[in-house]
């Protein structure tokens, strides 16, 4: 009896004196959360094995599971037929690459008419990527039939890119910046059931005031979500506490993404893995991190709770994109979702 009491006392002392070891345990649990990169530009069969090698480097170096890439560049860097891409993505790589039809130039109208969308969905396409940029063209009446069809069949608008960061060299004209956003709001008003992930935090991620507008959008349009692609380097442009509260409050609406593109070069897999690691550290720890996914200035991480990270890393993707749930399950990430 005395002995067991001593054991309990010893354990209590350990708990009081060793918060680091508890923290380490938590970080191990966080490392195990599978991650879906919803904003990637893979584009071809030949590149897939290089992305998988980046995933292996992350696993080897940090024990982190980068499981799935939503590929916004389906067939844009074609090195084979559609069938070859879909076979490689779906079968050879077990669904780890989930393709989106895409439209990177809408000045002459949307590339995919409504009558084609269901056919693409049946082939395994998980969303429709549209790049708009600093332009009000998304609001052209001719686009409405396609958006109506997407509402009907539940096809997600994947990383739809509206405007550009303002004020920067990407966009230094406030009138044009707002014209693009106002045009997008008019589309959302007409298509309330359209499920959307807007790219780059909707590019209202450059100041506390812009974050307030993003909050307004998320409050007004319940089917709008945002991805973090290429915005880790902007975390330090907002008040850290305000940004952290935002990420926690809107955890159901934020998805992990990087905007990775091209082919990770042989011999550079660890370097790319470190880019991912920096992005993860910014979300997971309160350490000062040396820049975002694409470098940038030193920024203190947000130390988000595990439940918030789970939503950002994969739960929201499971809810929004078809097939993600099954792919994760087949890869062995059976987390009772
Ligand atoms: Zn992108």
Q: How far is the CA of 71 from the centre of ligand 1 (A)?
A: 10
Range of the domain at 262: 35-330
- Residue 82's pLDDT is 94
The β-bridge relationship of strands 35-41 and 66-71 is parallel
**Residues with Cβ–ion distance below 5 A, ligand 1:** 259
80 domain residue, yes or no: yes
pTM above 0.85?
yes
What distances in angstroms separate CA 161 from CA 43, 130, 201, 203, 279, one per listed residue? 18, 6, 9, 9, 20
Query: Would you say 184 and 138 are in contact if contact means Cβ atoms under 8 Å apart?
Result: yes
Structural domain contains residue 29: no
Residue 152 lies in a domain: yes
What is the rounded distance in angstroms from the CA atom of residue 131 to the CA atom of residue 151?
Answer: 19
Per-residue confidence (pLDDT) for residue 16, from 0 to 100: 46
289 to 221, 278, 293: CA distances (angstroms) = 33, 6, 10
In a domain, 178, yes or no: yes
Cβ neighbours of 294 (radius 10 Å)? 15
285 CA to middle of ligand 1, Å? 25
**Considering the domain boundaries, does residue 18 fall inside one?**
no
CATH value at residue 276: 3.20.20.140
pLDDT of residue 158: 98
C-alpha of residue 165 to centroid of ligand 1, in Å: 13
270 occurs within a structural domain: yes
Q: How far is the centre of ligand 1, averaged over its atoms, from the C-alpha of 98 (Å)?
A: 15
Confidence at residue 27, expressed as pLDDT on a 0 to 100 scale: 83
- 38 CA distance to ligand 1 centroid (A)? 10
The answer as to whether 124 is a domain residue is yes
Number of Cβ within a 10 Å radius of residue 12:
10
Nearest to 85 by CA among 72, 70, 75: 75
Residue 1 has a CB neighbour count (10 Å cut-off) of 5
Q: How far is the CA of 258 from the centre of ligand 1 (A)?
A: 8
Residue-wise pLDDT for 143-162, tens only, equals 999 999 999 999 999 999 99
CA distance 285 to 287: 5
Which residue ranges of the chain lie beneath pLDDT 70? 1-25, 336-337
Tell me how many domains the chain contains.
Answer: 1
Q: What is the pLDDT of residue 336?
A: 64
Q: Cβ–Cβ contacts within 10 Å for residue 102, how many?
A: 23
**Residue 317: inside a domain:** yes
* Tokens 């975002």 -> residue: 292
């Amino acid at each position: 009896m005395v002995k067991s009491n001593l054991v309990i006392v010893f354990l209590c002392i350990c708990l009081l004196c060793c918060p680091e070891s508890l923290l380490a345990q938590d970080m191990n649990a966080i490392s195990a959360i599978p991650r879906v990169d919803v904003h990637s530009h893979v584009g071809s069969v030949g590149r897939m094995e290089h992305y998988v090698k980046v995933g292996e480097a992350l696993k080897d170096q940090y024990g982190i599971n980068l499981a799935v890439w939503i590929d916004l560049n389906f067939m844009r860097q074609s090195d084979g037929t559609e069938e070859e891409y879909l076979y490689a993505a779906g079968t050879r790589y077990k669904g780890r690459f989930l393709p989106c039809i895409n439209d990177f130039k809408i000045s002459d109208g949307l590339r995919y008419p409504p009558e084609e969308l269901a056919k693409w969905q049946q082939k395994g396409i998980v969303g429709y990527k549209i790049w708009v940029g600093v332009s009000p063209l998304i609001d052209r009446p001719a686009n409405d039939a396609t958006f109506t069809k997407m509402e009907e069949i539940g096809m997600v608008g994947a990383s739809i890119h509206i405007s550009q960061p303002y004020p920067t060299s990407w966009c230094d004209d406030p009138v044009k910046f707002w014209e693009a956003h106002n045009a997008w709001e008019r589309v959302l008003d007409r298509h309330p059931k359209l499920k959307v992930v807007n790219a780059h935090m909707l590019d209202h991620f450059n100041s506390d005031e812009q974050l307030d507008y993003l909050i307004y959008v998320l409050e007004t349009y319940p089917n709008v979500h945002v991805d973090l692609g290429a915005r880790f380097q902007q975390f330090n442009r907002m008040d850290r506490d305000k940004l952290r509260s935002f990420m926690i409050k809107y955890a159901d609406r934020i998805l992990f993404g990087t905007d990775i593109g091209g082919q990770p070069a042989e011999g550079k897999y660890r370097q790319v893995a470190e880019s991912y690691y920096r992005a993860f550290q910014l979300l997971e720890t309160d350490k000062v991190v040396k820049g975002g996914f694409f470098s940038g200035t030193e920024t203190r991480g947000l130390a988000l709770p595990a439940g918030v990270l789970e939503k950002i890393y994969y739960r929201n993707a499971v809810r929004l994109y078809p097939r993600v749930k099954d792919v994760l399950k087949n890869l062995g990430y059976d987390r009772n979702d």
